[in-house]
Structure 1
Amino acid sequence: MAKPEFAEQALSPWMKKEGPDRDVVLSSRIRIARNLRSYPFPMLATPSQSADVMEQLLSVAETGRLNGLGQPATYRLSELTELEKLVLVEKHLISPALAGESRNGALILGRNEDISIMINEEDHLRIQCLYPGFQIREAWEYASKVDDIFEESVDYAFDEKYGYLTSCPTNVGTGIRASVMMHLPALVITGQINRILSAVTQVGLAVRGLYGEGSEATGNLFQISNQITLGQSETEILDNLHSVARQMIGHEKAARDRLLAESRARIEDRVRRSYGILSYASIIDSKEAAQRLSDVRLGVNLGLLPEVELDVLNELIVSTQPGFLQQKFGEALNPEQRDMTRAQIIRSRLATKA
């Protein structure tokens, strides 16, 4: 059976586009949670009820109502292999919950993979929009258009007092999670990161790792998102995140300037050592790979490694994850085989550089 299109390339098409402050912000994301009025939430729905929800929501795409937003493809999770679902998680196109626990789960995926719509995850409908760089307001406008199309097609669970009703109380209200994925190596190296992240949490924002809630911030990648959805408007949520993220971008860039001014030889040695290890290692685990790729990315952004393309590094973040490694080779790999394969892929991509 042919691989789904999303499994062919590690780098989603939207990731190849330029975006503001791309040197610090890898991506901006909006996620909207919605439920259908006449059905129990997914955790309480019977198989027949969740199947009915799935078919209703898939029909919005299959009848062409979303075609103006990129002619999306539809996937029923039951028809995908475990590795294909893991690849979707590694590309941030579905959540681990949808991959592992959902009954009658499905996905509507835009051609550029900038829109991914999860069906029967924690909520009946989760609309996700991804943009490169710092474009959180642009991501909201796009996601809102998709939300409007669904709202014209199905009856949402909505309360005049509380807003949109969701499975988790923390999403009640607007149902919006806005987040930015930030690369903050200079703040980590200069020892400022804990103080800044503590301040971020004091203003109602959450800090997570690369794969969201419960994940570790490997490779100096931090996801910053709102925690409050009830009692605030969409504009207030976006303005708060935008303001805090803008300050963090400024702090990170100032820390990078400081590293160059005060420790140029040491930081250049650090990034070139990591580049050398990645270029010649025969075996490397995922945690070390993430840290070395972070160093190299910092070196590129500081102008110390002009021979390396950012798109190559973005691709390697995904293509060296366990699911994509195994999907690429079409077989299960044990940990040592994955570490050897990961090193091989990194060596090959850094050798071609484009």
Structure 2
Amino acid sequence: MADIQPSKALQFPAWTNDNHCLARRVLNCDLWEQLKDFKTSLTSFTINDVVRSGVAVPTSSNGVYAGDEECYRLYSQVFEPIIKEYHGMDKIPAHVSNLDSRCLTSVIHNEASILSTRCRVVRNLYGYGFPPGMSREKRLEVERILVTALESLGGDLSGTYYPYDTMTSSEKQSLIKDGYLFQESDKYQAAAGICRDWPEGRGIFYNNAKTFLVWVNEEDHLRIISMQKGADVQQVFNRLCRGIHAIDKRLLNNAQTAFAFDKQYGYLSSCPTNLGTGMRTSVHMRVPNAFNTAAEFKSTCGQLGLDVRGKHGETSEASEKAVCDVSNRQRMGRTEVELLKILIDGINSLNQYAISG
């Protein structure tokens, strides 16, 4: 760990009765007193910066963001309880990864209920501040490094990078509507400092078929995405694995950098919900008629280790008798292949419930 340097005097976070995030529960006055004079060596991130979003947006559930890798060590007394609660574990084991698509043998039996499949991972570059803490200059440097790596990809991964600020409003809206591009504003990210200098240094890379995409400098340096119509999880995962390995190799060769990684926390992310594999695999599926309400469907999914969202993404709600976004909840404690098996087994159970129900 780098030497700890004193920061400017801080005030205890101004929580209100409306704040119910995990950060407020963990960061009491005594702990804050222990941490208030610390700041990270790379981005000068303080404990108040860590919880800034949770204070500013009362609906935050976790309420913490990391400005760089060191945050997870320097402020571990805050991050670790939140990580354990969110990921549902009493002890955080050493991370084990499996990005070999040949190891995935499970299949979705009833493909008719699945409209599309999407698999993504988040990654950050070692030695650079994460989006909540990075400067304008470093954001542009990360963008240059990533564009060089991405535009050298070949085969079905070959594509073009589009800077966010060069796209027209209609182009952006079309990509957002189809689920390819990130939204322009997110109140949680804005409060965390992620949207500084917007939209400079951000963009999207995608291949001709729009089945392989990379978001650059959104919540993390990279969000690597494989997606397509239908229920072929194996094909989607195979493309994702090939993309991750190809980008990793080019970063090492071209920029002598790699993905930020910790032997316990796995791949490091701005938001602790994405630690571990950093992977979220989801399907858009029709809610089986056997479920009387969206709440009943969501409850059953929860018992199967699955999350349910509306089809328009993270902040949208599932509607009655609609198409829902169903994904793995867990990111840590299991390999990528194991998490995919949980998702596939869960979807098969939902479809079986529909038949027997």
TM bracket, shorter-chain basis: 0.5 to 0.7
Q: Which has the higher helix share?
A: 1
Structure 2 residue ranges without an equivalent (≥5): 1-107, 252-257
CA shift, 1:192, in A, is 5.6
Task: Please say if 1:235 is aligned against 2:324.
Answer: no
Aligned length: 233
Distance 1:97 1:32, change over 3 A: farther
Rounded Cα–Cα distance in structure 1 between residues aligned with 2:318 and 2:296: 16
CA shift, 1:137, in A, is 2.8
Distance 1:231 1:185, change over 3 A: closer
Rounded Cα–Cα distance in structure 1 between residues aligned with 2:171 and 2:261: 34
Distance 1:205 1:97, change over 3 A: farther
Report the residue type matching 1:67 in the other structure. G
On the 8 A contact 2:149/2:247 being kept in 1, the answer is: yes
Rounded Cα–Cα distance in structure 1 between residues aligned with 2:240 and 2:185: 20
Say which SS state the counterpart of residue 96 (structure 1) adopts. Answer: coil
Rounded Cα–Cα distance in structure 2 between residues aligned with 1:245 and 1:147: 26
Q: Deviations over 1:128-168 (max 9, x none)?
A: 11122222232111101100011112211011221110001
Paired position in structure 2 for 1:264 = none
Task: Please say if 1:211 is aligned against 2:312.
Answer: yes
CA shift, 1:103, in A, is 3.9
Report the residue type matching 1:240 in the other structure. I
Q: Deviations over 1:9-67 (max 9, x none)?
A: xxxxxxxxxx98453101111011000011100121111111111111111132x3x22
Rounded Cα–Cα distance in structure 2 between residues aligned with 1:192 and 1:105: 39
Say which SS state the counterpart of residue 239 (structure 2) adopts. Answer: helix
Rounded Cα–Cα distance in structure 2 between residues aligned with 1:51 and 1:160: 28
Paired position in structure 2 for 1:26 = 115
On the 8 A contact 1:30/1:178 being kept in 2, the answer is: yes
CA shift, 1:212, in A, is 1.4
| Alignment match of 1:113 (pick from 202, 210, 219) | 210
CA shift, 1:82, in A, is 2.5
CA shift, 1:253, in A, is 5.5
Rounded Cα–Cα distance in structure 2 between residues aligned with 1:254 and 1:130: 31
Paired position in structure 2 for 1:83 = 170
* 1:42-81 matched pairs, under 5 angstroms: 42-62=131-151, 64=152, 66-81=153-168
Q: Deviations over 1:285-344 (max 9, x none)?
A: xxxxxxxxxxxxxxxxxxxxxxxxxxxxxxxxxxxxxxxxxxxxxxxxxxxxxxxxxxxx
Distance 1:72 1:203, change over 3 A: same
Structure 1 length normalisation: TM-score?
0.61
Report the residue type matching 1:195 in the other structure. E
Report % sequence identity.
Answer: 29
Structure 2 length normalisation: TM-score?
0.61
On the 8 A contact 2:288/2:351 being kept in 1, the answer is: no
Q: Deviations over 1:214-269 (max 9, x none)?
A: 113357010011122111111211111000011223344567xxxxxxxxxxxxxx
Paired position in structure 2 for 1:160 = 263
On the 8 A contact 2:110/2:348 being kept in 1, the answer is: no
CA shift, 1:174, in A, is 0.8
Paired position in structure 1 for 2:182 = 95
Report the residue type matching 1:232 in the other structure. R
On the 8 A contact 1:20/1:134 being kept in 2, the answer is: no
Structure 1 residue ranges without an equivalent (≥5): 1-18, 256-354
Paired position in structure 1 for 2:36 = none
Displaced runs of 4 or more, over 6 A: none
Rounded Cα–Cα distance in structure 1 between residues aligned with 2:275 and 2:170: 33
Distance 1:153 1:144, change over 3 A: same
Task: Please say if 1:124 is aligned against 2:124.
Answer: no
* 1:1-354 matched pairs, under 5 angstroms: 21-62=110-151, 64=152, 66-96=153-183, 101=195, 102-154=199-251, 155-184=258-287, 186-187=289-290, 191=292, 193-218=294-319, 220-252=322-354
Rounded Cα–Cα distance in structure 2 between residues aligned with 1:33 and 1:163: 11
Rounded Cα–Cα distance in structure 2 between residues aligned with 1:136 and 1:37: 30
Distance 1:209 1:75, change over 3 A: same
What CA RMSD, in Å, does the superposition of the two structures yield over aligned residues? 2.3
Rounded Cα–Cα distance in structure 2 between residues aligned with 1:20 and 1:249: 9
After the TM superposition, which of the residue ranges 166-175 and 66-75 deviates more from structure 2? Answer: 66-75
On the 8 A contact 1:136/1:179 being kept in 2, the answer is: no
